[in-house]
Amino acid sequence: MSSCKECQHVVSIEEMILIQKRKVIAMNKSYVEGLKRALKTLEELRDKKDKDRLDYTFVLVSLISIMKSSVTGWIKWCNIERMHDIFETKEEIKNLIEKMDEIVVQWVKMDIDITNNCIKKMERETIKDAIKSKKKKKQKSKAETKPTMYVA
């Protein structure tokens, strides 16, 4: 038994657990509402006409932020000690894993492709910069080695 300081009555452990469960339910409902609002905002961003590069960058950042929020929520949820009780059957867990597996594999493949493309672009830019640098050094050394004539 525990005592509630605000109302000065005794609260049983069962009541405390029930209160905590209600808080978790409320937090999860709030979380879902936040994700729904994010999807609505994303839809509005997608529907915007005449988008420029900044708009597209904002959409990309929004997509990644929404995904981050979702993944962070899943990590917290999966770390609940009694999560295995939430799924009533092994089939529920297997179905969830199959769906997530497909999404994660697609995401990681896309990540690898985009990262490899970025690496290639950076390598090309680095080579161009190195060539420019060598040319500047040659021009500078030629200028330094030119004989100077003085007119008296």
* pLDDT confidence tier of residue 100, bands split at 50, 70 and 90: very high
Residue 151 has pLDDT above 70, yes or no: no
Tens-digit pLDDT profile for residues 101-134: 999 999 999 999 999 999 999 999 999 999 988 8
- Over range 62-77, report the average pLDDT: 89
Average pLDDT, the chain: 85
Which pLDDT band, with edges at 50, 70 and 90, does 146 fall under? low
- pLDDT above 80 for 98: yes
Rounded Cα–Cα distance for residues 43 and 25 (Å):
27
pLDDT in tens, 83-96: 777 788 889 889 99
Burial 71-106 (b: 16+ CB within 10 A, else e): eebeeeeeeeeeeeeeeeeeeeeeeeeeeeeeeeee
Q: Could you tell me the pLDDT band of residue 53, with boundaries at 50, 70 and 90?
A: very high
- Residue 149 backbone dihedrals phi, psi, to 5 degrees: -105, 135
Comparison of pLDDT for 79 and 115, the residue scoring more: 115
Q: How far apart are CA 102 and CA 98, in angstroms?
A: 6
| pLDDT class of 27 with cuts at 50, 70, 90 | confident
Nearest to 16 by CA among 2, 26, 27, 5: 2
**Would you kindly state where each structural domain of the chain is located, as residue ranges?**
1-86, 88-132
Q: What is the mean pLDDT of residues 65-93?
A: 83
* pLDDT value for 125: 95
